[in-house]
Amino acid sequence: MASADKESQGIPWVVFIPIILCVVGILVLLDIRQRQRNPQYAPIDTHPQAFEQQLLDDVDEQDVDEEDASDDNHGEGSSTAVRVKKVGKKRGEKLRRKEEMRRYREYMDHQRDLRRAQEEVYEEEFRRKKIEQSIKRTDEMEKRRKEKEKKAKAEAKEELKMQKLQEKDAKKRQSRFSKYGEKLKKLVKERKLCDTNELAKWMGLSQQEVIDMLQQLCDQDDEFELCLWSGTDTFLFITRDDYAHFNEQFKAKGKMSIHDAKL
């Protein structure tokens, strides 16, 4: 029964003490050896994880120093190792700066390429707008030219139409004057003071046709050169002899109405 209880308790922890002491001793020996190889080695941290990380960092640094030493063809020894480490730092700083300058140049080249591409886009957009404006102006000029030509053709057509109408009307008036001119002339000379509406009724014409013929008589016939108009409704046929008679009447009466002109 007692043996069963001991087996259930497992292996006592006292058994692990020698193993732990051996591990700690090995770590201490490794630290001492590292200190002998590198006097500037930092003190060991008692914390196991920190000690392990520090040991890994020291190993990496040692590898870098050995690589720099092999590249520079230096000898072995503690003093030489220190000098090689300093040279390695300078070279690393130089390489770092060189890398930074390379990246900076690449960045500046990239920025210049971007600006150049952007300028090309702006120039292309400017050229496109100029072309569009030129095309628009050309279209507007062509449109105005066509409208002007169309208007000129319409005006010329209308003018030709009016000219033909005027020629036709002139021929018609001349034909009417040739037919009724002498009759109207005789009637006006007999009546002296005439009403154009009454003349139109007697002639069987319109008032405007009678007015046109009277105007033509005044322009072409010397006997009608002194005739008088009162608007477009009243026409007075008068000659030089009539003016002499009117002058005598004025001297005798001092005044005279147009109705007294009937002789």
Q: State the virtual CA torsion across 102, 105, 106, 111 in degrees, nearest 10.
A: 160
Q: How many domains does the chain have?
A: 1
Give this prediction's pTM: 0.39
- 237 in Cβ contact with 218 (< 8 Å): no
Query: d(Cα 80, Cα 69) in Å, to the nearest integer?
Result: 9
Q: What is the pLDDT of residue 255?
A: 62
pLDDT tens, position by position, 75-98: 444 444 444 445 567 888 888 888
218: which 2 tokens?
Answer: 């005044």
Encode pLDDT of 8-52 as tens digits: 455 666 667 777 777 777 777 777 777 766 544 444 444 444 444
| Average pLDDT of span 219-247 | 82
Q: What is the pLDDT of residues 172-224, one digit of tens each?
A: 888 888 888 888 888 888 888 888 888 888 888 888 888 888 888 888 888 88
Query: What's the confidence (pLDDT) of residue 67?
Result: 46
Evaluate whether residue 206 is within a structural domain: yes
Residue 185 lies in a domain: yes
In a domain, 30, yes or no: no
Question: What's the confidence (pLDDT) of residue 193?
Answer: 86
* Six token digits for residue 209: 């046709």
Pick the more confident residue, 101 or 26.
101
Report the alpha-carbon distance of residue 235 to residue 227 in Å, rounded.
7
User: Is 203 among the domain residues?
Assistant: yes
Assign residue 247 the CATH number of its domain. 1.10.10
Find out whether 53 and 61 touch, Cβ atoms under 8 Å: no
Q: Summarize pLDDT for 123-180 with one digit per residue, the tens.
A: 999 999 999 999 999 999 999 999 999 999 999 999 999 988 888 888 888 888 888 8
Q: Is residue 32 part of a domain?
A: no
Is there a domain that residue 8 lies in? no
Domain carrying residue 249? 177-253
Pairing of strands 228-230, 234-236: antiparallel
Confirm whether 242 is domain-assigned. yes
Please indicate, yes or no, if residue 96 is contained in any of the structural domains. no
Backbone angles phi, psi at 191, to 5 degrees: -90, -20
